[in-house]
Amino acid sequence: MAVINPKSVKVNVTTGTGMDIEWDDGHRTHFGFQWLRDACPCATCTEERNNHHRNPGEPAKQSAALLPMYKEPAKPKEVKPVGRYALNIAWNDGHASGIYSWDYLREICQCEECRARVVNS
Ligand SMILES: [Zn+2]
Ligand SMILES: [Zn+2]
Give the number of other CB atoms < 10 A from CB of residue 69: 6
The per-residue pLDDT for 63 is: 67
Q: Which CATH class is domain 6-55+73-120?
A: alpha beta
Question: How many whole angstroms separate alpha carbon 33 and alpha carbon 55?
Answer: 16
Ligand number nearest CA of 48 is 1
Give tens-digit pLDDT for 30-69.
999 999 999 999 999 999 999 999 999 998 877 667 676 6
Å from CA of 65 to ligand 2 middle: 37
Å from CA of 5 to ligand 1 middle: 23
